[in-house]
A and B are shown apart, each in its own frame.
Chain A
C-alpha cells in the first residue's frame, strides 16, 4: 500500500514538473514558409484523375482551371476572366493574360488540348464520362474558348470549377503536367512530403503571399494533431473530431470546422427486400441520428433527415427538413405493409478500415434491430468494400461522401440510378422520376424553375428513399493563430479549401 502511494506521488510530482521542463517555441520558423500536415500522401498528382482529397489539395496549389469556387460557394473567374452563354448549347469563356509555370501564355489552344486529353478514349480522367456531353471545343481566337454541348447544359461552369479540371500546358512533358497555379512543384519525397514554391508569374497581383509550402503527410490523426501542437506544422487538415475541443481551447491554435461531408445508407435495389420503397423508408425512419452524431463523431456534426442539401443553399427545402424523422412505430408499420411484419434478416456492408464507417454501421445495426431488421455486419478493408459495393453483393451499405459542388446536380453521383453501378450509390435501383428530374435540372437555365425541379426531386427522394441521409459530419482544419488567409470553404466545397493557399500567410 505504501509502495503504491509512493509511486503515485512520484508520478504526480513528475507530471507536475513537466511544464517547467518545456522548451517553448521549439522550432525557429522561417518567414513565408508554411508547413502543412496532410492526412495522407497524395497517391497521384496526375491533374485530371481523382486521387482523393489530399491529391486535390496539392493540385489546387499547382493548377488553376478556367473557373473555381469562391468563399461564398459561387463559381468565380480564374484563367477565364468572364464567361457567358452563346445560345442554349454553347458557353463562351474569355481567357485573361495568364502564364504557365514554364513562362508560356495560357491560350485557347491549351484549353482545347486539355479537353482533348480528358475526353480521350484511354483517358483515366474523372470527367471523361461528362465530356461525352460536349460536342466540340472551339478556339475562335487565342483568348476565346467556345464549348458546344450536345444538350443544353447548365452545369458546365460547375464542372469547370472542379479540381479535376485544371488547364494544363499543351507543351507539358509526358508525366509532368505544367500548370498555371500559384505554386510550382519543387520536389517530392515519395510517401513523405511535397515541396512547393511561389510561382512569381502567377496572374493574381501580389499573390501568392507564401514563399514556400512544405506539405508533410501524417497518416496517423493523433500524430497530425501532436505535430501541430508541438509546432512541427502550421496547419493540418482532417482534424480528428475527438481533438476539436482541445484545439479550440488552445490559445495558440484556431479551429476552422464546417459541416460539409455527410454519411448515408445505400441499398441493393436489384432484389428483395430493398427493391420495395416501403422497406427502404422503414430503414430511414428507424435511426435516431442524434445518437450517431454523438457516438461516431463526438458530437461534431448534425442529423441529416433529408437529401444532403445544406440549409445555406438556395435549393434547401425547409418543408423536408425532417422528412426521414426518427419514428420506429412508422418503421414497423411500413415493414408490416410490405409483408415483413415478422422482421427481416440481411447484411450491412461497411469497412473496419475507417473508424467513422465502422462506428456508424454498429449504431445503425442497433437501431435497425429495434424495429425488427436484423443485420449482419460485413466489415472488410476498404478495397474489398469498394469491390463488393460495385458488384452489389450487399443489402444495405454505409457510405460517406461530399457533394461535388453546392449545386444539387453535385448529388448526381449519389442519386442518379441511370449511371453505371457504383459503391457510392444504391445498386440496381432506377427511379425513373429522379432520373428525369436530374436531367431536367441539368438542362434548365431558369433559377426559379430549377428550384421547383429540385424541390420535386427531394419530395420523390423522401418517399422513395434511393439513399437515406444519416448525418452531416464536421470537416475541420486547424492552424496556428498566426496563420492568416486560409479559409475552410462552405458545405460541399470544404475539400476545395486548398484554393485559399494563395492568400495564406504566416506572421
Chain B
C-alpha cells in the first residue's frame, strides 16, 4: 500500500510540474505585453522608453528560458513571485482568496446535497407519477438556465426590488459574521441550484437501479417496512455515484465560479484569474492555475487511494 501511495505521489508531482511548465509557456506565448498594458490604462499612449524601462524592471527583458528557470526555482522555494501590476505577493493573494472560493464551493455543495439528495430519492420512489415528472422537469430547467441568468434575476428581485439582501459583495467573517453569510448565500444558492439538479438526477437513477437489486427484494421478503428499506438498504448503496458526480462538479468549480463571482461581486479565485489573464500578469496566472491544478491532482490522488483501499486489485494493477 505504501509503495502504491509513493508511486502515485511521484506521478502527481510530475503532473504538477507539467502543468506549471505548460501554463508558463502558454501565458508567455499569447500576444499582449504586461508592461505595455500597465502603462496603457485608460486608453492613452504609453511612451516606448517608459515601456522598455518597465520591462527591464519587471525582468521581462530576460530570455524566456532564464525566466522559466527563475520561475521554477521560485516554485520549489514555495514562492509564487510578485504581481507585475502592483508588486503584491501572489502567494498572499491566493492564500486570501482560495478560502473564499472553497467556502463558496463548499456551501454550494452542501446546499445542493441537502436539496438534491432527498428530492432525488423522492423522485425515484414516485417514479412515473406526478411528483417524479414535476421534479424531473424542474431539474431539467435548473440545469439548463445559465448561472448568470439566475444570478441576475436574484439580484433584481431580492436586492433591487425587495431590498432583502445587498446586491452582492463580500465582508470578511471576522468583521461581520451575519453579513458575511448573507452575502455568501446568494452566490452559493445560485451555484447550488444547478448542482442540486445534477445531484437529483444522479440520485434518482442510482436509487432506481438499487431498487431492482436482489438484496432489496430480499429485504422486502424478510418483511422490512418500506421506510427502513429505503434508509438502510437503498440510499446507502446509491451514494457512491452521487459522491463521484458531486466531487467532479466541485472540482471543476474551483476555477469555474467566475460568472457567479462577477454577477455577485464576490472576490474569489476565478475572478482573480480572469483579471490576471486580462492584465497578462504572468506570476499571478501561473500561480493561480498551479494551485487549482495541484488541488485537482490532490483530489485525484485521494480518490485513487480510496479505490485502492476499497479494491485491493487496484494496488497491483
Contacts and interface: CB of A to CB of B under 8 A. Distances in A.
B7 to A, nearest CB: 40
Given A43-B38, A51-B41, A128-B47, A190 B170 contact: no
A387 B163 CA distance: 44
A55 interface: yes
Interface stretch (B106-114, B262-270, B304-312): B262-270
Interface string A98-142: 000000000000000000000001111110110000000000000
Contact of B161 (A22, A27, A46, A353): A22
A507 interface: no
B48 interface: yes
Interface in B20-34: 30-33
A226 B50 contact: no
A226 B167 contact: yes
Contacts of A380: 31
Contacts of A390: 36
Query: Interface majority SS on A: helix, strand, loop or mixed?
Result: loop
Contact of B57 (A25, A44, A122, A404): A122
A361 interface: no
Interface in A369-401: 380-384, 386-388, 390, 399-401
B255 interface: no
Contacts of B97: 191
A408 B93 CA distance: 43
B31 A413 contact: no
Interface residues of B, number: 56
A52 interface: yes
Given A125-B50, A383-B37, A230 B159 contact: yes
A393 to B, nearest CB: 9
Interface string A40-51: 000110100111
Contact of A218 (B45, B96, B265): B265
B9 interface: no
B118 interface: no
A384 B31 contact: yes
A423 B40 contact: yes
B227 interface: no
A128 B51 CA distance: 11
B36 A386 contact: yes
B167 A223 contact: yes
A10 interface: no
Nearest to B58: A124
A50 B42 CA distance: 8
Interface stretch (A275-283, A414-422, A449-457): A414-422
A383 B280 contact: yes
A232 B166 contact: yes
B214 interface: no
A337 interface: no
Given A43-B279, A220-B262, A387-B32, A123 B53 contact: yes
Contact of B162 (A18, A49, A128, A191): A18
B169 interface: yes
Contacts of A383: 31-33, 37, 278-280
Interface string B141-171: 0000000000010011101111110111110
Nearest to B42: A52
Interface in A47-87: 49-53, 55-56
B85 interface: yes
A6 interface: no
Contact of B263 (A50, A53, A191, A223): A223
Contact of A219 (B30, B87, B157, B262): B262
Q: Which residue, B53, B162, B167, B265, has most C-beta atoms of chain A within 10 A?
A: B167
A189 B96 CA distance: 10
Contacts of B44: 50, 126, 401, 404, 413, 424
A22 B157 CA distance: 10
A24 interface: yes
A226 B280 contact: no
B47 A420 contact: yes
Contacts of A25: 163
28 contacts: A18-B162, A22-B163, A23-B163, A43-B279, A126-B44, A216-B265, A220-B262, A223-B167, A223-B264, A226-B156, A226-B159, A227-B159, A227-B168, A230-B163, A231-B163, A232-B166, A381-B32, A382-B278, A383-B278, A386-B36, A387-B33, A387-B36, A399-B43, A401-B43, A401-B44, A419-B45, A420-B48, A424-B45
Given A218-B265, A425-B45, 12 more contacts: A43-B279, A49-B39, A126-B44, A128-B49, A219-B265, A219-B271, A220-B263, A223-B264, A387-B31, A413-B44, A420-B47, A422-B40
